[in-house]
Amino acid sequence: MKVLITDGVDPQCGQILAQNGFEVTEKPKISKEELKEIIGEFDKLIVRSATKVTAEIIEYGKNLKLIGRAGAGVDNIDIDAATRKGIIVMNTPGGNTISAAEHACAMMLSAARRIPQATADLKEGNWNKKKFTGVELEGKTLSIIGLGKIGREVATRMQSFRMKTIAYDPMIPDEYAAHLNIELLPLHENFKRADFITIHSSLNESTRNLISKDTFDLMKEGVIIVNCARGGIINEQDLADAITSGKVAAAALDVFEAEPVNPDNPLLKLDQVIATPHIAASTNEAQEKVALQIAEQIVEWKQKGKLEGAVNASAVELAQSPGVQSYLTLAEKLGATLAQLAPAHVNKMTVRTSGEFLHKYNEVITAAALKGLLEIRQSGDTNYINAFTKAKECGLSLEQRFEKENTDYTNLISLELENGTEKRMIGGTVFGDKEVRIVMIDRFLVEFKPEGNIIIYNNIDKPGIIAQVTQLLLLHNLNVAYIALSRDEEKSIAMTAIVVDGDVTPVLLEEIRNVNGVSCADLVSL
C-alpha cells in the first residue's frame, strides 16, 4: 500500500497513514514530468490544489486505486478519467470553510479601507492620510452570490458590521435565507442594489463570466467586488475596464482564471486591485484539518471499506456496466438543462425512469440528475455521494417513479421541477449506445443534443417568428448550428430550440423576448 503525497500537505497526514501500515513517500514540489515517471509505483495519491491530476497522469498511474484531495475543490483532478479507470476520488469538504470565509471578510475590509496600498505607501517613507480615505461597511448592502457553507459564514460575520445582506442562490428557500437575516433576490437585483459583492459560487458553464460588461452596467457606481471562490466567474478584462472607468471602486481577488496569474494581467497594473495568490484556505488550522481528514478517510476505507468524502464511488461501481454511463450523462444534462429553465426556489423534483434496463439504476440516475441540477443552482461541489444530502439541505423534496414501459421510447428519463405554483418538465433518451438526446420539454416533443449554448423560446404559432429571431442572431454575429421545432396545434403555441456557435448575451436574449409573439425565452448553457 504505497501512498504518494504532493503539494506540501501537512506532515500529520503522512504520519497517520504510516502508523496504519501505509508506505508513504512525500514529494512537496514534484514536477509534472517526475510525477509521470513515478506515479505507476503508487496505488494512492494525495494532493492539494497545485498538482494537476490530468487524464494523462491517470493513464500513467497504472496501479492507482485512490486519489485524495486535501481540501474541497476537485477541479484539478480529472474525475471522469479517474472514474473510467475505476479510481476513487476523495475530498475533504468543510475543512477549510472558516479560513476561506475569514479571508473573504479580510479582503473586503482591506479593499474598503485601502489597507495594502496605504501600507506600501507608508513603507516608501510617505505619510498620506488624505490619499487613502476609505468607506465604512455599516449601513452598506452586501450581495453574496452563492449561499453555501462559506457564503453563509461570510454573511454571519459581515452582519456583525451592521451590513444589510442580500443574496442570490436559486436552490435556497426564502424561509431559510430569512432565518439567516438574508434577503434572497434575483441576480440582476443583487447587482443593482449592492455596494459590495462577494462571490461564493463554484465555476461551471452557467457561472463562467457571470460578472462581465453587461452585469457591470447594472451595478452602482463605486461598487466593491470580492472573489475568493474561483477564477473565471468574473471576466478579468471587463473588470479591469470597469475599474478604469470608475464603475468599480475596488476589487479584492484571491483567484484568477489562469494560475499562477500572468504578470501582464491588466488587473495587476491597477492600484484599486488588491490580490493574494489563492491563499483563502491557507491557514495552519485549515491545512491541519484537511490533512487529518483525508488521512482518516483513507484509513477508514482500508479498515472498514467506508467511502467518506468519495465524489465518484457510485460512478466507479457502475463504470463496468455496459450502456449505463450514457444514461448517467443524460440524467446530468437533463438536470442541468431544467435548472436553467425552471422557476427559482423550487421545492420538489420528480424523477421518472421507464424501460426495464433502467430499473436497477434508478437511484444513481436520480443522483446524476441532482448533480446536474445542483451544480448549476448551488455553490460548492456536488457529486453522486452528497447529492441527496445537498438536496435535503436546500429544502428540495424528491419523488422517484418507475414505469416498466414507455410507448414511444425503449428507455426514457424525465424530470419535473416545481415550486407549488409552476412546474417544468424535461425528458431524454439515448439512441444506440452513446447518442444522448433531449426529446421533450413540457408538452412539446422537441429533439436536440444537450450541448453548447441553446436558446429555447415559446411563441404564438404564426409565420415569421423564426425569421425574426435568426435575424437577431445574425446581427449579433452568431451562427446557427441546429434548430429543433415543435408545436401544440390545439393551442397554436410553438417551441423552438436553437443551438448557436458562440456566447449569447443578456442583451440578445432580451431582444428575442421582445419579438412580437414570443412569450418567453431562456438560455441553456451546457
Mean pLDDT on 298-303? 92
* pLDDT at 309 > cutoff 90: no
128 and 261 part of one domain: yes
The closest of 363, 303, 295, 297 to 327, measured between CA atoms, is 363
Give residue 186's pLDDT band: very low, low, confident or very high (50, 70, 90). Answer: very high
The answer to the question of residue 349 being in a domain is yes
For 463, the grid coordinates are 409565420
35 and 165 part of one domain: no
pLDDT at 163: 99
pLDDT at 321: 62
The answer to the question of residue 37 being in a domain is yes
For 66, the grid coordinates are 485512490
Which one from 69, 114, 152, 278 is the annotated catalytic residue? 278
Give residue 315's pLDDT band: very low, low, confident or very high (50, 70, 90). Answer: low
Range of the domain at 513: 450-525
383 and 469 part of one domain: no
109 and 227 part of one domain: yes
Give the Cα separation of 123 and 119 in Å (integer). 6
427 and 491 part of one domain: no
* pLDDT at 79 > cutoff 60: yes
CATH of the domain at 504: 3.30.70.260
* pLDDT at 272 > cutoff 90: yes
Give residue 53's pLDDT band: very low, low, confident or very high (50, 70, 90). Answer: very high
The answer to the question of residue 238 being in a domain is yes
Mean pLDDT on 479-498? 93
pLDDT at 363: 81
Range with the lowest mean pLDDT among 27-31, 42-46, 84-88? 84-88
* pLDDT at 109 > cutoff 70: yes
Active site residue 405: no
Averaged pLDDT score across all residues of the chain = 92
Rg (the chain; Cα; Å): 24
Which one from 34, 37, 136, 259 is the annotated catalytic residue? 259
pLDDT at 175: 82
100 and 222 part of one domain: yes
* Contact between 384 and 314 (Cβ < 8 Å): yes
CATH of the domain at 348: 3.30.1330.90
pLDDT at 345: 83
H/E run at residue 68: strand 66-69
* pLDDT at 111 > cutoff 90: yes
Q: What is the DSSP pairing of strand 479-488 with strand 88-90? A: unpaired
433 and 353 part of one domain: yes
CATH of the domain at 163: 3.40.50.720
Give the Cα separation of 256 and 235 in Å (integer). 10
Give residue 312's pLDDT band: very low, low, confident or very high (50, 70, 90). Answer: confident
User: How does pLDDT run across 418-462, given as a tens digit for each residue?
Assistant: 988 889 999 999 998 789 999 999 999 999 999 999 999 999 999
* pLDDT at 292 > cutoff 80: yes
Mean pLDDT on 114-121? 97
pLDDT at 251: 99
Give residue 128's pLDDT band: very low, low, confident or very high (50, 70, 90). Answer: very high
Mean pLDDT on 287-303? 93
pLDDT at 378: 77
pLDDT at 238: 98
pLDDT at 176: 84
Name the percent of the chain lying above pLDDT 70.
97
253, 275, 297: which is the final residue of a domain? Answer: 275
Mean pLDDT on 248-261? 96
419 and 471 part of one domain: no
Give the Cα separation of 13 and 289 in Å (integer). 10
Q: Is 464 left (phi over 0), alpha (psi -120 to 50) or beta?
A: left
The answer to the question of residue 254 being in a domain is yes
User: How does pLDDT run across 342-392, given as a tens digit for each residue?
Assistant: 988 888 999 999 988 887 788 889 989 999 999 888 766 676 666 787 888
* Contact between 459 and 494 (Cβ < 8 Å): yes
407, 442, 477: which is the final residue of a domain? Answer: 442
Range with the lowest mean pLDDT among 54-63, 259-268, 280-289, 358-367? 358-367
Phi then psi dihedrals of residue 145, to 5 deg = -95, 100
pLDDT at 475: 95
Look-up: residue for cell 463605486?
A: 222
Active site residue 359: no
Name the percent of the chain lying above pLDDT 90.
73
The answer to the question of residue 193 being in a domain is yes
For 499, the grid coordinates are 443551438
* pLDDT at 314 > cutoff 80: no
H runs (alpha helix) in 114-252: 115-123, 149-159, 174-179, 187-193, 213-216, 236-245
317 and 343 part of one domain: yes
What is the domain count for the chain? 4
The answer to the question of residue 167 being in a domain is yes
Count of CA atoms in the C-beta half-sphere (13 A) of 50 = 16
The answer to the question of residue 280 being in a domain is no
Q: What angle do CA 22, 28, 30 make, to 5 degrees?
A: 105
354 and 405 part of one domain: yes
| 94: number of Cβ within 10 Å | 15
* pLDDT at 83 > cutoff 90: no
264 and 373 part of one domain: no
* pLDDT at 405 > cutoff 80: no
229, 256, 275: which is the final residue of a domain? Answer: 275
Active site residue 162: no
The answer to the question of residue 422 being in a domain is yes
438 and 407 part of one domain: yes
